[in-house]
Amino acid sequence: MHFNLAGFLFISAALAAPFAIGAHHPAKTVNMKPTMALNETTLGHAVVSNHCQLPLYLWSVGENISPQNVVQPGQNYSEVFRHDPKTGGVAIKITTVMDGLYTSAPQTVFAYNLVDNVVWYDLSDVFGDPFMGEFVSLLPSEPAIRWKEGVPPSGSQVRISEAMVDLVLTAC
Ligand SMILES: *[C@@H]1O[C@H](CO)[C@@H](O)[C@H](O)[C@H]1NC(C)=O
Ligand SMILES: *[C@@H]1O[C@H](CO)[C@@H](O)[C@H](O)[C@H]1NC(C)=O
């Protein structure tokens, strides 16, 4: 399978413009056509890999909020990239606290937007930093997303990747 590099570079240039995951559909402005039809078999996954000593609690949020997923130490959460019909983007919200989504506990948010054959994604924290003092990475990413102390650096964390490639968030 070929990744459309020209399309990628064109999109990268467009990224200089303001971009909010879920709010806009950047492909509309650059009029990128899909070069192949990706399906459940060929699409990659959003993976959350729990290397911490404690369970993680996670919700996949688009138009609807998934039930709480409990990710035990050493286990993974995984979903095939999807395009939400209403919001476009999907936010995987992670806390170290049971029911944390509903109590505004510190959350790490892995947001992605599947657009044709690429995924735009970023990583951010809200209501505090659930992994403060721990290592957090979201790979592959260029430049690499690695939070050595579990705290996001300032500046944009938005990245782009081929949609057939798994993106793995590793906590601790
Ligand atoms: C998914 O796409 C691949 C590659 O184009 C194709 O070989 C496969 O049959 C497709 N699977 C489904 C379930 O449509
Ligand atoms: C979790 O995901 C990572 C990255 O894909 C993989 O290397 C590891 O084997 C997975 N672990 C489990 C328990 O499935």
CA–CA distance, 81 with 65 (Å, rounded to integer): 16
Q: Whose CA is nearest to atom 14 of ligand 2?
A: 76
Whether domain 5-20+43-171 has CATH 2.40.50.140: the reply is: no
pLDDT at 133 over 50: yes
| pLDDT of 157 | 76
Gap from CA of 46 to ligand 1 centroid (Å): 20
76 lines ligand 2 (CB under 6 A): yes
User: In this structure, which amino acid lies at residue 168?
Assistant: V
CA–CA distance, 45 with 167 (Å, rounded to integer): 6
42 lines ligand 1 (CB under 6 A): yes
pLDDT at 14 over 70: no
| pLDDT of 6 | 34
Q: How far is CA 75 from CA 2, 52, 57, 136, 162, in A?
A: 32, 10, 12, 15, 25
CA dihedral 16, 21, 119, 88 (to 10 degrees): -140
CA–CA distance, 86 with 64 (Å, rounded to integer): 9
Gap from CA of 103 to ligand 1 centroid (Å): 42
Which pTM was predicted?
0.80
47 lines ligand 2 (CB under 6 A): yes
Distance of CA 170 to the CA centre of its chain: 12
Pull the structure tokens for residue 90. 């999907």
168 lines ligand 2 (CB under 6 A): yes
What percentage of the chain has pLDDT greater than the value 70? 79
pLDDT single digits (tens) 16-27: 333 444 444 444
Distance of CA 83 to the CA centre of its chain: 12
Spatial neighbors of 149 by CB under 8 A, at least 6 apart, are 132, 133, 134
Q: Whose CA is nearest to atom 7 of ligand 2?
A: 49
CA–CA distance, 11 with 80 (Å, rounded to integer): 23
Contact assessment for residue 78 and residue 49, using Cβ atoms and an 8 Å cutoff: no
Higher pLDDT pick, 45 / 12: 45
Specify the DSSP class assigned to residue 66.
Answer: P
